[in-house]
Chains A and B, each alone.
Chain A
């Protein structure tokens, strides 16, 4: 994704970013919503998930059996997020 108009060389004080979050399958039955979330710049997919675990503790036990995507691509949990990103938490897939 393009980082429109952002300059890494300029230090900023805890800027806020906004990402869209989606849950699917059994996760959707726990965190029954898709929503925009405000995060501090530098937040990772892992820290975003942790925020939802704080609100829906039952999510914690699925951490080991979930993959994450950022903008429709499977992504590492350490991936840093940018404003406008779409993040999804995906249980094991069972299509076909």
Chain B
């Protein structure tokens, strides 16, 4: 049912392992015919090097605000019911879940589309960063530059 108020949505930034089952249970309801989930997990390699572990950090207040915006956007665009989005912070080992998204809907197409839109948007707009640790060093992962409003002509360029 489009237009459902997202009051039952769940957004988390947490330092403990993400409980997938709890998030799925949170979104599924009697009126839903589908729950689609995305489980983003820590890969053991990056750019041909063996990854040891990752450290995630966030601008937490803004990250939560941006995650809420994503939820509002998918409620607007797709006929979905509930959304749960959790992102892990701190040190993550290979195979652990870094991000988990669950979307419920009466019918599966909306749930698939909304879940895909949510993870794609999260990766572009939510201020979270990961540092990748290898046997011979560490690097901040190549990221995406979020869309920002264009500069106006009012201010003088910085000297």
Contacts and interface: CB of A to CB of B under 8 A. Distances in A.
B146 A76 contact: no
Interface string B37-81: 000100000000000000011110111010000000000000000
B17 to A, nearest CB: 17
Contacts of B128: 93-96
Contacts of A68: 148
A91 B145 CA distance: 7
Assign chain B's interface to a size class. Answer: 35 or more
Contact of A96 (B123, B152, B155): B123
B146 A90 contact: yes
B99 A95 contact: yes
A21 B106 CA distance: 45
Interface in A68-96: 68-69, 72, 74-78, 80, 88, 90-96
A26 interface: yes
Interface in A27-79: 44, 46-47, 49-50, 65, 67-69, 72, 74-78
